[in-house]
Chains A and B, each alone.
Chain A
Amino acid sequence: MINKDYSHVINKIDSLAAKIYNDFQKTDVPFLQLPTRSKSNIKFDGKLNVWKYGENTIERSAKSLDGAYMLLRTMYLADFIKEMIKVNKSSTLREMYYISEGWDLAKFHSQNESNLLAEDLEVITSCMREDFKLRPEEDGARVIGNVTIEEMTRNNTKKKIHCQDDVGDAGYSIPYNVEPEKITFKGTDADFIVAIETGGMFDRLAENGFDTSNRAILVHLKGQPARSTRRFIKRLSDENNLPVIVFTDCDPWSYRIYASVAYGAIKTAHISEYLATPAAQYLGVTPSDIENYELPTDDLTKEDINALKSELTDPRFQDSFWKGEIKLQLKLGKKSEQQALAKYGLDYVTDTYLPEKLAEMGITRK
């Protein structure tokens, strides 16, 4: 087992309990303060180069019923984490949700509620979910490329895995813990990382041998990427000095995938500096590509249009590239998929599209 020092976590949790206790002692109505976790309250942190929560805070006070329930749940959750640390166990977020069944008044009514509170607790204590011994449900995304990873296995032995030679077609699976005590990078021979939204495109690039022909490390994002995937990309990029390009569908939801990789997600802005890779660049598919490559399209739905409009007011999308592309897409009224490139044949994406785009971006030479 990985032995990690959790004493700072226990300290944080105890000081939280003490804060509430002292409020009672001072005859104040107990409350906790935390940043507003919304689009309107994220600011670019020039030092860290990522988007973090701004100055706006909300108060969870026992004055209101909702606030009081929230405080009670926070106390239960904190106590539960303390207990897990003590007995050296961990649980999934879903297990935690079910465990709350036994918390009487403090029990959660949906898993979304418990997930949000776990995030709140991270924000309040400035610890990470991993510190709380809580794991996500989602299974890890996949990696194929010329990189060797040393992983601490369940048997407490270190195992080296080469992500081309030692893996099958499905690639290397990213574990939920990607911190140094779990995995380390033992050498790469690649020029850049490609983060790919869909499994279909990941498999296409793998089948076409893009990782070897273009000296690329392919990472499958599986839609909105899990924390571990984002953290993995960040470490892989930082520690090996590799540029990251993000290759997604051409719709508003895909731009948010890119934003969470490059800028930091709104929900996890408190730990953006751990998760985001500021140097990640967006490759496509862009609305301009729809026109330039004459790609097959679908009409934007009402939800798509609203999401695009919302992105126009999202502080993360305020540069000229995104504003231009989003406005263009709204004008076109169309969206497209990565796999629409198959219109020109199965090899078109690896033989023509990617090389052209990569050269344009200055990652490779034409």
Chain B
Amino acid sequence: MTKLTAHDLAKKQKEISVAEFFERNKHILGFGNATRALVTSIKEGVDNSLDSCEEVNILPEIYVEIKNHEDGECKIIVEDNGPGIVTKQIPHIFGRLLYGSRFHAIRQSRGQQGIGISAVILYGQLTTGKHAKIISKVQQDRPAVVMELAIDTNKNRAEVINRETVHWDKPSGTRVEISIIADYKRGKRFVYDYLQSTSIVNPHAQITYKDAEGEEYLFERTAEATPKKSCEIKPHPYGVELGTLIKMAKNTKARKLSTFLKTEFSSMGDRTTNAVCEKADLDRNANPKEMKREEFLALHRAFKKVKIMAPSTDCLSPISETLIRRSLKHETKEISPEFIITASRPASVYSGNPFQTEVGLVYGGTLPRDKPVQLMRFANRVPLLYQQGGCVITSAISSIDWRRYGFEQPSGKGMPSGPAIFLTHVSSTQIPFTSESKEAIADIPEIENEIKLAFRECARKVQHHIHKKVRRKKTREKFDLITKILPEIAKKSANMIDKPIPSLDAVITKIMDIVWIEDLIEYEKVSRQPVQTTIIPDKESDNTRSEGTITKSKIMVVNYKHNSQKFNLYALIPKDAVVGSVEPKPAKIANNYIKWNLGTIPPANKVDVSFELAGLEKGDFDENDLYVENINPAFVIGADKWEGD
């Protein structure tokens, strides 16, 4: 046996193409089995379509179709009305892995690495040997291009097999047809779930889905504007790694360290820059290109020692509570839930990456009472369908003691049981996924904490809701008592001893001994422009809207106490609503509440209060949240103690 030398080994050492690598590691990308492969393929296609539509401010209309062949082969079709792709770029986008526009940008988007759709094409090629077909149209008056692509896994390049121009009715858009081996029977439920979930967190998208049996499902659009466009931000010093820092310094145009820090990073002003340089013991006029590794290390360490403002959060595009509510309401119609509650946290930061948490809770209706609550997890508007157990969302929810909020939860830990759906959306410039297949968010303490805070707020609202319901029920009983039973007792006793029926007023105020506040919400369609909406509407859709809804809230305050009452009333309103007429004249209209100083109400008298809201759709505001001040809240049914702004 001849002894191998390093030279012999060197002959075997060669570059591994990325495509080749993924060919062998397809489970990492979510193609681990035939069921997953189906959902992953659809997901990659739809994510791409949504991202591209949003980039050019088009309301997405997405069509998804699956054709199932008996031999286990599925053809998946995803079509959108996005901007299309210029012919030259088609082979790069669909035929190369790790090619994309979003990888280098620090802002919130669905896809990032540029692996997604090309991986699907690669998977299709590996399992069926068929080529992918791409149709794209970029301009109204131009024909569309049809391209058949294969991927050369050695070179990580696309091979264009065929190219034609055709007529396509759409003004613009992209259509992808890829044949893959997949388990349609098992996977079809997940496809439906994925599309429904996607529709919930993308209320501006309309998704049509035709399954292999020919059944068509429509997930309707519930918001008429594309989400606020997230903008790019520069890296934050807290999140940058040493290697990246060195690379950035090599490439910078700045000639001074201070300029480099101020221009290439976010949140770095003069003061912070000086503080960092001082801590690192570096000259702020040093040329960053000539700095040594030790100096970078000192700089990197100094970042952590100085208090640096959090990065700006306008790079994030949260969904907004109103829209989450609206979509949840729309998608859970058949369940007829008792109530839907949402909560959102202000943007926060983990290792220099901004992120924001929004949660929603659907309660009651036909949801099973004895089963664990259903989780809906989302990251940057993408549903997370697998690996629920390994996700920070799950561990955050499990660590809350839900028992005091009316849920079942043995020992106060773990997944609670009860008739509810918990929705969590985390948006970030950098979602810390546990793996490349992007199915679970890693256990980052800052994120876990924010999710917990959001759900605690929701849970408090649930408790509040249930408590309010119980109190109202009790008082309703009292109403029955004073309006029906008491007069009967009086009548009967008077008849039996032949006397006139006694007056009941004094007894009634004694029994009730409360101030009763009852409210009602009505909606009125009006053919006028809504004054404002949550999302910044683009001009086009603003003009096409010719009608809106006015939400009218009517509140009745009755004094059933035996003495006069004088107090202040507050009604919470959504921040994004516009206040119309308010009766009586309010003492204050803030951006999230209206305040009235109610005049003296004598016993057994009532006061009517009302206000109108515009800029909301029917059902967005379906319950008043009322508070009182300058009165013992225990005397009041229908409102709680005002705790301040």
Question: B506 touching A14 by the CB < 8 A rule?
Answer: no
Question: B481 touching A75 by the CB < 8 A rule?
Answer: no
The contact of A30 among B480, B484, B489, B494, by CB within 8 Å, is B489
The minimal Cβ–Cβ distance linking A105 to chain B, given in whole angstroms, is 6
Q: Which of A76-84, A92-100, A128-136, A302-310 contacts B (4 or more CB under 8 A)?
A: A76-84
A56 to B485, CA, bound (A): 28
Question: With A14-B496, A68-B481 in contact, do A75 and B489 touch (Cβ < 8 Å)?
Answer: yes
Question: With A18-B497, A76-B492, A82-B496 in contact, do A105 and B485 touch (Cβ < 8 Å)?
Answer: yes
Question: B489 touching A78 by the CB < 8 A rule?
Answer: no
A149 to B502, CA, bound (A): 53
**B486 contacts the other chain (Cβ, under 8 Å)?**
yes
Question: B488 touching A106 by the CB < 8 A rule?
Answer: yes
Question: A65 touching B493 by the CB < 8 A rule?
Answer: no
**A24 contacts the other chain (Cβ, under 8 Å)?**
yes
Q: Which B residues, 457 to 495, have Cβ-Cβ distances below 8 Å to chain A?
A: 477-478, 480-481, 484-486, 488-490, 492-495
Report chain A residues within 8 Å CB of B271: none
The tally of residues in A whose CB lies under 8 Å from a CB in B reads 28
Report chain A residues within 8 Å CB of B481: 62, 64-65, 68
**A29 contacts the other chain (Cβ, under 8 Å)?**
yes
**B250 contacts the other chain (Cβ, under 8 Å)?**
no
The minimal Cβ–Cβ distance linking B480 to chain A, given in whole angstroms, is 6
The contact of B496 among A27, A62, A79, by CB within 8 Å, is A79
**A63 contacts the other chain (Cβ, under 8 Å)?**
yes
Question: With A68-B485, A72-B488 in contact, do A21 and B494 touch (Cβ < 8 Å)?
Answer: yes
**A48 contacts the other chain (Cβ, under 8 Å)?**
no
The minimal Cβ–Cβ distance linking B356 to chain A, given in whole angstroms, is 48
Q: Which secondary structure dominates where chain B touches chain A?
A: helix
Report chain A residues within 8 Å CB of B477: 65
Contact pattern, A 254-293, Cβ under 8 Å of B = 1, otherwise 0: 0000000000000000000000000000000000000000
Question: B480 touching A65 by the CB < 8 A rule?
Answer: yes
Question: B496 touching A65 by the CB < 8 A rule?
Answer: no
A20 to B510, CA, bound (A): 16
A104 to B492, CA, bound (A): 13
The contact of B506 among A27, A69, A71, by CB within 8 Å, is A27
Nearest B-chain residue to A67, judged by Cβ: B481
Question: B492 touching A62 by the CB < 8 A rule?
Answer: no
A-B Cβ contacts below 8 A, count: 73
Report chain B residues within 8 Å CB of A30: 489, 493, 507
Nearest B-chain residue to A25, judged by Cβ: B502
Residue from A21, A28, A30, A75 whose CB has the most chain B CB atoms within 10 Å: A21
Question: A20 touching B507 by the CB < 8 A rule?
Answer: no
**A342 contacts the other chain (Cβ, under 8 Å)?**
no
A64 to B503, CA, bound (A): 19
Residue from A64, A72, A104, A106 whose CB has the most chain B CB atoms within 10 Å: A72
**A17 contacts the other chain (Cβ, under 8 Å)?**
yes
A28 to B489, CA, bound (A): 13
Question: With A21-B494, A72-B492, A75-B492 in contact, do A29 and B507 touch (Cβ < 8 Å)?
Answer: yes
Report chain B residues within 8 Å CB of A79: 492, 495-496
**B499 contacts the other chain (Cβ, under 8 Å)?**
yes
Q: Please, could you name 23 A-B residue pairs with CB atoms under 8 Å apart, sorted by A?
A: A14-B496, A14-B497, A17-B496, A20-B493, A21-B493, A21-B502, A24-B490, A24-B493, A27-B510, A29-B507, A29-B511, A63-B511, A64-B481, A65-B477, A65-B485, A68-B481, A68-B486, A72-B489, A72-B492, A75-B489, A75-B496, A78-B496, A79-B495
Given A65-B481, A105-B485: 12 more A-B contacts, CB < 8 Å = A17-B493, A21-B490, A21-B497, A21-B499, A24-B502, A24-B507, A28-B510, A29-B511, A64-B481, A65-B478, A79-B495, A105-B484
Closest A-B pairs by Cβ, 6 of them? A27-B506, A24-B502, A17-B496, A75-B492, A20-B493, A65-B477
